[in-house]
């Protein structure tokens, strides 16, 4: 399956279970893999036969910088749902939402989730 990749998109949002996350906010990184057939767009060289990366970025930005959620799982699911609504050519997607600086005690690089979804008929 062909893929379009958008990696390490950086946003600032107010998601989390702790009140300081909702007030102070924090960084979020999002990686998106979009699965679709790129044969037609590869040959036509026409954006109408593909998915516009800037529109994908804006879908993700609107969700991550939008209404606060408690869980990164909910952010990822909202992104997947909106991508399927916005892009008819999208067959499947894989998303990773990462919080590099959550207010959790301990030593780690980051926390996050990864989901894979397919278009439902």
Beta bridge partner(s), residue 30: 9, 97
99 belongs to the catalytic site: yes
Kindly state the DSSP code that residue 38 receives in the 8-state scheme. Answer: -
- Position 36 scores a pLDDT of 98
The closest of 67, 64, 66 to 99, measured between CA atoms, is 64
Domain 3-118 has CATH 3.30.1130.10: yes
Average pLDDT on 97-112 reads 90
The closest of 117, 115, 99, 112 to 35, measured between CA atoms, is 117
CA pair distance 7, 91, nearest whole angstrom = 19
Confidence of residue 80 (pLDDT cuts 50, 70, 90): very high
Positive or negative torsion for Cα 116, 29, 17, 105: positive
The closest of 45, 35, 31 to 3, measured between CA atoms, is 35
Q: What is the mean pLDDT of the chain?
A: 95
Among candidate residues 39, 61, 69, 99, the one labeled active-site is 99
CA pair distance 96, 106, nearest whole angstrom = 22
Confidence of residue 52 (pLDDT cuts 50, 70, 90): very high
């Amino acid at each position: 399956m062909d893929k379009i990749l958008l990696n390490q998109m950086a946003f600032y949002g107010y998601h989390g279970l702790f009140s300081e996350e909702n007030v102070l906010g924090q960084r979020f990184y999002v990686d998106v893999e979009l699965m679709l057939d790129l044969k037609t767009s590869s040959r036509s060289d026409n954006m109408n036969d593909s998915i516009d990366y800037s529109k994908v970025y804006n879908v993700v930005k609107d969700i991550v910088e939008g209404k606060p959620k408690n869980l990164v799982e909910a952010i990822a699911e909202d992104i997947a749902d909106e991508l399927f609504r916005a892009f008819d050519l999208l067959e499947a997607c894989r998303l990773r939402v990462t919080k590099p600086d959550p207010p959790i005690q301990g030593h780690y690089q980051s926390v996050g989730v990864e989901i894979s979804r397919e278009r439902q008929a």
